[in-house]
Amino acid sequence: MSSKELRSTAFMQQRQVSVYFVAIVAAIGGLLFGYDTGVISGALLFLKVSFALNDTTQEIAVSVVLVGAIIGALGAGRVNDALGRKITLLFLAVIFTVGAGLTAISPNLLFFIACRIIVGVGIGAAASVVPVYISEMSPPRLRGTLVTFNQLAITVGIAISYWVDLAFAHADMGWPPMFATAAIPGVLLFVGMLVSPETPRWLASKGYWNDAKEVLEQIKGLDPEKELADIRGSLLIEQRRGGVRELLQPGLRTALMIGVGLAIFQQLVGINTVIYYAPIIFQKAGFVSASSAILATSVVGIVNVLSTIVVIFLLDKVGRRTLLLIGTTLMIVALAALGLVFSSGSSQIGGLTLMTLIVYIFAFAISMGPVFWLMSAEIFPTRLRAAGSSICSFSNWAANFLVSLTFLSLIRLFGSSLTFGLYALMGILALVFCWMLVPETSGRTLEQIEHYWSINEEHKRKMA
C-alpha cells in the first residue's frame, strides 16, 4: 500500500464516519499510555524475584519507561509533521505491539530495560500525537469532549493494568503476561487507524486540498465549507511566517509558556506519586497488608476513571479555565490535608488518607489531568501544532521523571507530611499561574485561538 493509499483510501471507501468513532480509535493510544505506565506497579513484585533486583535496580526498572517517553515526546513533532498524524499512529501501534511481545520474553534485566525504553518511546509520542489528531478532527463545540476521550482512556488503561496485574498475580503466572496483554490494544489501534482518515488540517497543510475536502465531507457533524475556509485562511497567514523558532516570538511565546507551564505543574502537584506509589503511601498510612493497600489503590483508580467521565461533559460547557481553577484549588486543600493527616498521628490515619486521596484524584481528574493535554493540542497554529505539543509533552515527561525519581528520597529526608506540603506549595504556584495566564479556549475554533495570541500581544503592547 502506498503512503497516499494509507493516507486516505481505506477511509474514502466509506460513506460517513462519526467523529466519535475516530476519537475512540485514536484514544486507544491513550489507553496504551495508561496501561504501559500503570502495569509496572504490580509487575515489580515479580520482576524483583526473577531478576534479583535491589532498591536501585527496582527504581531503574520503574522509571526507565519515562526516559523512553522523553525521547518519544521529543521526536514526535517532526515525525508527526513529516508523515502525518495517521501514519505516525500506525507506526506507534506497531511499536506498542512489538514492544509488548519483546518485553514479555525478556531473558534478563538489560533486555527488559531496552524493551521498556522502546515502549516508552511509543508512550511519549502517543501522548502528544493522539490529542493533536483528535483536536484536528473535531468540530469546535465537541473538541473538549472528544480530546478528553484520550485522558479517559489513560485513566481506564491505568485501572485495567491494576486489575490485570492482580488477576495474573492470583493465577500465579508472573510478570510476562502482564506486559504481553498490551499487544491486544496495540493491534486494535493498528486496525482502527487503518480505517480512519488523515486529519483535514494536515492534508491541507501539505497541499492535498481535495483529500482534505473529502475527509471534511465524510465526517458527520462538521460544516465542510466553513472548516475549509477557516483552514485556508489560517494557512495563508502561516505561510508568511518563520519556522519553529516562531514559537519564541511575541504572541506565540505566550502560548508556549502556557503549554509548558501546564505540562510542568501537572506533574509538580505530585499526581504520579499517587499513581505509581499509592500502595506505598497506603502502607505508610497503616494499611498493613499488601492486599489491603492494593485494594485501596484500585479504589483511587476507579475514582480517577469516574471523575474523568464527569469532566467530559463539563469541559465544553463550564470551560477549561474555570475547571482548572476549581480543581487546582481543591488539590491544594487535599494535599495540605494529607500533610496534616500524616503529622497528626491520628488513629484514623488510614481512612483519612483514603478520603483525602479520593478528593485529590477527583480534583486532578477534573482539572490539570484533561485540561493540560487538551490545551497542548489546541493552543498552537496548525503548522506549529505538532512541534508545540511535542515540546509540551517533553516537558511533562521530564517533570514526571524528576518527581517520580525523587518522591521516595523526599519522604526519607523530610517525612511524608512535609513532602505533601511541598506539593501543596507547588499547587499554589500552579493556581497563580493559571489565574494570570491561562485563557478560556472552549467554544472557539482552532483558527480563532490562533488569532487570539496576536490580539493578546497587540493589547499588551498598547498597555505598555
Residues that bind ligand BGC (CB under 6 A): 151, 154-155, 158, 266, 271-272, 275, 304, 369, 373, 396, 400
| 3-state SS, residue 226 | helix
DSSP 307-339: HHHHHHTTTTTT-HHHHHHHHHHHHHHHHHHHH
Q: How far is the CB of 272 from ligand BGC (least distance, A)?
A: 5
Residue 290 CA to residue 353 CA, distance in Å, equals 16
- 131 Cβ contact partners less than 8 Å away, ≥ 6 residues apart: 147, 150, 373, 374, 376, 377, 389
Pick the closer one to ligand BGC by CB: 8 or 297: 297
Minimum CB separation of residue 56 from ligand BGC in Å reads: 23
Shortest Å, Cβ 145 to ligand BGC:
16
Query: From the CB of 148, what's the least distance to ligand BGC, in Å?
Result: 10
Q: CB-wise, 304 or 356, nearer to ligand BGC?
A: 304
Name the minimum Å distance from CB 126 to ligand BGC.
12
Cβ proximity to ligand BGC: between 106 and 155 the closer is 155
Question: Residue 90 or 271: which CB sits closer to ligand BGC?
Answer: 271
Query: Quick one: 117 or 399, whose CB is closer to ligand BGC?
Result: 399
* Distance in Å, CB of 358 to ligand BGC, minimum: 14
Q: Cα 238 from chain centroid?
A: 27
Question: For residue 114, with 0-12 CB atoms within 10 Å meaning exposed, 13-18 middle and 19 or more buried, which class applies?
Answer: middle
Which H or E element spans position 227? helix 224-239
Nearest-Å Rg of the Cα atoms of the chain is: 22
CA distances from 166 to 72, 158, 162, 180 (A): 29, 13, 6, 15
Question: 313 CB contacts (<8 Å, ≥6 apart)?
Answer: 145
| Nearest by Cα to 315 from 225, 196, 442 | 442
Specify the residue, 293 or 303, whose C-beta has the smaller distance to ligand BGC: 303
CB of residue 38 to ligand BGC, shortest distance in Å: 8
Could you give the 3-state DSSP secondary structure of residue 219? strand
Q: Which is nearer to ligand BGC, 151 or 445 (CB)?
A: 151
